[in-house]
Amino acid sequence: MKFSLWMGMTALLGILAAGCNGGSYGVLQPNPEDLCKCLPIEPDILDFRHLAKHVPIPAVAAEELGVDTILSWTQDAFVDPSAPRTGRELQLFHIANAFLQEASVNGADCDVHFEISQTADKSASRVIVETPVDSEYCTARQNAQSQLAKRGFKLDSQHGGELPLALPVEVFGLAFEDFDHNRGSAQVATIWELHPATVNLLP
């Protein structure tokens, strides 16, 4: 019984891990360039802490912080897959200056996946930021796509990945604690994210 339960949990975590990584370009979409029409293929039940992630950004004052602060937050050894938002996860944060290193569309859940760092150095430690597939974030997704296109970088369900050069950005988002799995590049150094969040490229 215990072995079967363990195997089931292992399989579930494996599916979650495969679905959480940005840059899943093998998934064909009917409108690959329209980020607002991306169709998630991952059932909500397999999405880690789905209800906690898919919430609106509240209209409250944001606390200022930097990427390095997020990297310093203590990470829990275990995060319950159905845990509601608590503590820090109820706070809205604003990062006025960070550097975007990677941008892609998750082929499983259609969230737009960004990796940001404190400095422009490609080897700098990174934090994941995600703009959800939810319709209320449609404009934010299109804005990020348009801003990147103006800088020669194509972002849609079939294109994305590591940027040639890091780009300055600002971010608004809620803190979110994910679980430890293959979630992005080797430079991602924490399971803490800003999710949901919006990303705006700076001049």
Predicted confidence band of residue 4 (pLDDT cuts 50, 70, 90): very low
**Local structure of residue 99 (DSSP, 8 states):** E
* Residue 63 structural domain: 2-201
Mean pLDDT of 157-168: 96
Q: What is the pLDDT of residue 13?
A: 42
**AA identity, residue 169:** V
Q: What is the pLDDT of residue 23?
A: 60
Per cent of the chain over pLDDT 70 is: 84
What does the buried/exposed string (b/e) look like for 160-196 if buried means 16 or more CB atoms within 10 Å of the residue's CB? beebeebbebebbbbbbbbbeeebbbebbbbbbbbbb
Mean pLDDT of 161-171: 98
pTM for the whole structure: 0.86
pLDDT higher than threshold 80 for residue 7: no
Compute the mean pLDDT over every residue in the chain, rounded to the nearest whole number: 89
Mean pLDDT of 150-177: 97
If one counts the domains in the chain, the total is 1
In sign, the C-alpha dihedral spanning 163, 127, 120, 112 is positive
Q: What is the pLDDT of residue 85?
A: 98
